[in-house]
Structure 1
Amino acid sequence: MDKDKLLLSVIAILLPPVAVFLHRGMGGPLLLNILLCLLFYLPGILHALWVVNRR
């Protein structure tokens, strides 16, 4: 795991929408992550970690 993914993983745990925005930019994944964070924080964290570590 390189330093960028490690840093994004830490940000994904603390601020999931920020990590998704930094990794993918504006778009569907960001809106989905914001919705998941509003409904309940844990799904937002899991989605952000999945988006950051998917590739």
Structure 2
Amino acid sequence: MDTQCVSCSDTLQIPADSYQGEIVSCPGCSAELEIHSTHPLELAIAPEPDEDWGE
């Protein structure tokens, strides 16, 4: 599946076996994107992981 990066509008190829919640990287800008939906395909900037201060 082809789509556009939500950060830089570069073309991304998303494998057909991708799943909701999977993180993919844009080859153009290296943004980490999360697949929010596969039908229809929706991407969003992946949330930054929270710091784990050893708690």
Fold-level similarity (TM above 0.5): no
Larger proportion of strand: 2
- Pick 1 or 2: higher relative contact order, CA cutoff 8 A, min separation 6: 1
Give TM class, smaller chain: under 0.3
Q: With structure 2 as the length reference, what TM-score do the two structures score?
A: 0.27
